[in-house]
Amino acid sequence: MRALLLSSFDAPPALADRPEPVPAPGEIRLRIAACGLNFADLLMAKGTYQDTPEPPFVLGLEVSGRIDAVGPGVTGLSVGDRVAVYGGQGGLAEMGCFPADRAVRLPETMGWQDAAAFQIAYGTSHLALDHRARLAPGETLLVLGAAGGVGLTAVEIGKLMGARVVACARGADKLAAAQAAGADHLIDASTQDIRAEVKALGGADVVYDPVGGAQFTAAFRACRPEGRILTIGFASGEVPQIKANHLLVKNLTVMGLYWGGYLGFRPEVLTGSLSQLMAWHAQGRIRPHISHDLPLDRALEGMALLKDRKSTGKVVITIADP
């Protein structure tokens, strides 16, 4: 089978021929249909992501596909089932083995590409806004990086939860994508003062930040008293340093959200969130925005689109129709 293999952190990943994997106890094997790319894939290729395995390994955190073999001890899943899986690695390949307890059955209304683009982006935003920040109807939500893979879902889910959504992104095209996802107000981060614009709207109750750096600082200063700031990631490359006395003065809360971490300590929270998201998708209330759908031999091009911030929503690698 073909797979995008990272042999060393000192060399770029490359397509390679690999032996077909055999499922271990508790695993399923998929004929992979599609793999959603994430900013974390870029970090893993450099060895800087929190859950990076030692090379060699196959990149690709989340996949959709059809089960073609089950390992010993697997119950409740069968050959032929259509599923999505957050595997953490192994997705950019024609086949892969993944933990059976991470597989989510797909409704017939969900296609392969939507399924591959769904779990991390929507799961992150829903857990962040609902479980962590307790976003309430009528509150003002500021979304930084609002046209990115997670940012666009935060706009969509925030609006669905009844918030007034302020979307911040760079350039007219990206802001148009955020507006189409439901944003009420738009801020161009390349030309406008984020703090001034948000303050003019009355301040933010909740900030969703996958960017970090200077944008975090501006958003921090634009929070209303008792504001909640969600740190989702640091696409800017700069991890902000927070002055605790400023938290005290405005009664602010800064909280982190690592979606994959819930698999280790509270998987039921993640499972419940995905059930709600799947129901919303089936009702037509949310729909992944996929700006690029590329074949496996163009996977590196897809990663470059993320690195250069030339995509909106998700980039998906389509591998086969199993």
Q: What is the CATH number of the domain that holds 22?
A: 3.90.180.10
Mean pLDDT of 214-231: 97
Q: Which two tokens stand for residue 178?
A: 């955020």
* Same domain for 95 and 161: no
* Same domain for 172 and 100: no
State residue 169's pLDDT score: 97
**pLDDT exceeds 90 at position 198:** yes
Query: Where residue 147 falls among pLDDT bands split at 50, 70, 90?
Result: very high
Q: Is residue 272 part of a domain?
A: no
Q: Is residue 314 part of a domain?
A: yes
**pLDDT exceeds 90 at position 6:** yes
Of 260, 276, 302, which marks where a domain is finished? 260
Q: Is residue 280 part of a domain?
A: no
State residue 5's pLDDT score: 97
Average pLDDT, the chain: 95
**pLDDT exceeds 90 at position 229:** yes
State residue 50's pLDDT score: 85
**pLDDT exceeds 90 at position 271:** no
**pLDDT exceeds 90 at position 320:** yes
Would you state the torsion angle of the CA atoms of residues 268, 273, 279, 284, taken in this order, to the nearest 10 degrees? -160
State residue 72's pLDDT score: 96
Mean pLDDT of 135-157: 97
Q: Is residue 86 part of a domain?
A: yes
State residue 85's pLDDT score: 95
* Same domain for 131 and 243: yes
Query: Per the structure, how many domains does the chain have?
Result: 2
* Same domain for 255 and 124: yes
Q: Is residue 192 part of a domain?
A: yes
- For residues 145 and 210, the answer to whether their CB atoms sit within 8 Å is yes
Map residue 306 onto helix, strand or coil: helix
State residue 48's pLDDT score: 92
Q: Is residue 202 part of a domain?
A: yes
**pLDDT exceeds 90 at position 51:** no
* Same domain for 211 and 126: yes
Question: Burial code of 82-110, b = ≥16 C-beta within 10 A, e = fewer?
Answer: bbbbbbbbbbbbbbbbbbbebbbebeeeb
CATH number at residue 193: 3.40.50.720
* Same domain for 248 and 127: yes
Mean pLDDT of 262-268: 90
Which domain, by its residues, includes 39? 2-118+288-318
* Same domain for 169 and 136: yes
* Same domain for 160 and 99: no
Q: Is residue 279 part of a domain?
A: no
First to last CA, the chain: 14
* Same domain for 74 and 25: yes
* Same domain for 238 and 141: yes
Q: Is residue 274 part of a domain?
A: no
State the Cα–Cα distance between residues 233 and 245, nearest whole angstrom: 23
**pLDDT exceeds 90 at position 263:** no
State residue 32's pLDDT score: 98
- What letter would DSSP give residue 204? E
Q: For residue 236, what are the CA distances in angstroms to 42, 63, 74, 77? A: 13, 26, 42, 41
Map residue 209 onto helix, strand or coil: strand
**pLDDT exceeds 90 at position 128:** yes
* Same domain for 86 and 161: no
* Same domain for 154 and 77: no
What pTM value is reported for the model?
A: 0.91
